[in-house]
Amino acid sequence: MAPGHRDRSGFGRLRRTENDRAGWWMIALMTGKPVNLTAALASFDEVYSPRIVARMNDYDVRVAHARGDHVWHVHEDTDEFFLVLDGRFDVATRDADGRETVVELQPGDTYVVPKGVEHRPSSPGSSILMFEPSGTSSTGDRHEGDIPDHVDSTTGHEL
Ligand code: NI
């Protein structure tokens, strides 16, 4: 670092390296380092593989790219919040009698899948933000059939 050039991060030698990536990320989360959603989404390409951009109380804010069909699944103990950032994102749900309803969401639209409701997202290509308790699996407490290769069963990855 050039003399007189202050490190505005305030972390000095705690710079991110491959070996220190997880440690840096934890520090960033703990100290409230700003995270830009556009930059976060540009940092990975995988679809249906959510990244955690923030944590608050016991909740994660996650972002993901979406394309193709997700898998039918259910979160028995938690609602799941969606905000569409770009593209079109559809959520199919099933009622107790097995009747399907599909909501078509556009950028700026929000939608909540109530806990216990079977749902399957699908998209021709979009980016979404989700809000749900930390530890919530992307494929729910149970799912229908096999998980497709393009769907990541995860509780969210670090950026
Ligand atoms: Ni879900």
Residue ranges of alpha helices (H) inside 32-138 are 37-42
CA distance 111 to 31: 30
Q: Residue ranges per domain, the chain? A: 35-158
Distance 108 CA to ligand 1 centre (A): 19
CA distance 104 to 91: 7
Distance 81 CA to ligand 1 centre (A): 9
Compute the average pLDDT of residues 4-13.
47
Distance 72 CA to ligand 1 centre (A): 8
- Structurally, at CATH architecture level, domain 35-158 sits in Sandwich (2.60)
> Is 11's pLDDT higher than 50?
no
> Is 2's pLDDT higher than 50?
no
Distance 15 CA to ligand 1 centre (A): 35
* Burial of 64 from C-beta contacts in 10 A (0-12 / 13-18 / 19+): buried
Phi-psi region of 98 (alpha: psi -120 to 50; beta: other; left: phi over 0): left
Distance 25 CA to ligand 1 centre (A): 25
Distance 74 CA to ligand 1 centre (A): 6
Q: Which amino acid is at 137?
A: S
> Is 1's pLDDT higher than 80?
no
Q: Which residues surround ligand 1, an ion (CB under 5 A)?
A: 80
